Structure 1
């Protein structure tokens, strides 16, 4: 099978949501960080942290990032790596798990954010502030003073170029 065909099949499998409920040995975890070499550190709803491996079929085709939810299945061999990724969860599968009461309550922090937005409690404190630029809020009321500042800035530019 060519690389293109393989990638197409893997992407279809990952994106096509079959809405299959997890088996008794599978669990939903949150990705904390990537450790490299197709290993990811995850956190369970209990707060336990361990490493999971990315199966060969997903490698170089699908990426997971910090904060993503994945379905894992435990593996017996190895001490550090305790599970293997079965499925990367998307919005639809998370919604389906919540409807069937299978979503861990510890991971349900997004509900607070949705309620805050829906209620209109928008805080500007959450917005990103660029600290690399000075915040200049100078408003001039007279057109004469703006003309003076333009002539000053022109003379400054000329002196800086020399």
Structure 2
């Protein structure tokens, strides 16, 4: 089977199927990735351990911090205590919540995250409404730190030094004495 065909089947399986965890499996939240296809995870009870990404998901499916996965336990593992069997997306989480298979501890966390995201969007909208067209805010523009910053100040009045230079220049050139 070619790599493209394999990727197509793996993605179709992950996105299409709705899976409920068995008695031995558990739902965990991904906390981070120390490397080598290992991920740090936490259970609903607060237990932290490492989980491994199976070869069928590697370079095909990506997970990030905060994602939820279903894990098969590995009894002989000391540090790595589980292997990812299924990656949960929003549709899968909603399905598990309606069936009652979703852990209550994660329901509270996900509700808090949704509230925070909503508050951040409201704050951004309020900031956007506060700005008017007459205000020019260049603070978000890119500044090239490899160039010298020149600050030009424009003034209509000539300074005393400019007047002195003009008078001395006229005397040297043979102008007015």
TM above 0.5: yes
Inter-partner Cα distance in structure 2 for 1:151 and 1:9: 64
Aligned residue for 1:13? 13
User: 5 Å matches for 1:122-141?
Assistant: 122-123=122-123, 134=139
1:60 aligned onto 2:62: no
Aligned residue for 1:38? 37
Which residue of 154, 164, 174 maps to 1:152? 154
1:113–1:78 CA distance, 2 compared to 1 (3 A): closer
Inter-partner Cα distance in structure 1 for 2:139 and 2:8: 48
Extract unaligned runs of 5+ from structure 1: 128-132, 136-149, 154-162
1:35–1:113 CA distance, 2 compared to 1 (3 A): closer
1:112–1:80 CA distance, 2 compared to 1 (3 A): closer
Extract unaligned runs of 5+ from structure 2: 128-137, 141-151, 156-177
Q: CA deviation at 1:91?
A: 0.6
TM-score when normalising by structure 1: 0.70
Inter-partner Cα distance in structure 2 for 1:37 and 1:94: 27
Inter-partner Cα distance in structure 2 for 1:110 and 1:99: 15
Inter-partner Cα distance in structure 1 for 2:62 and 2:116: 30
How large is the RMSD of aligned CA atoms in angstroms? 2.8
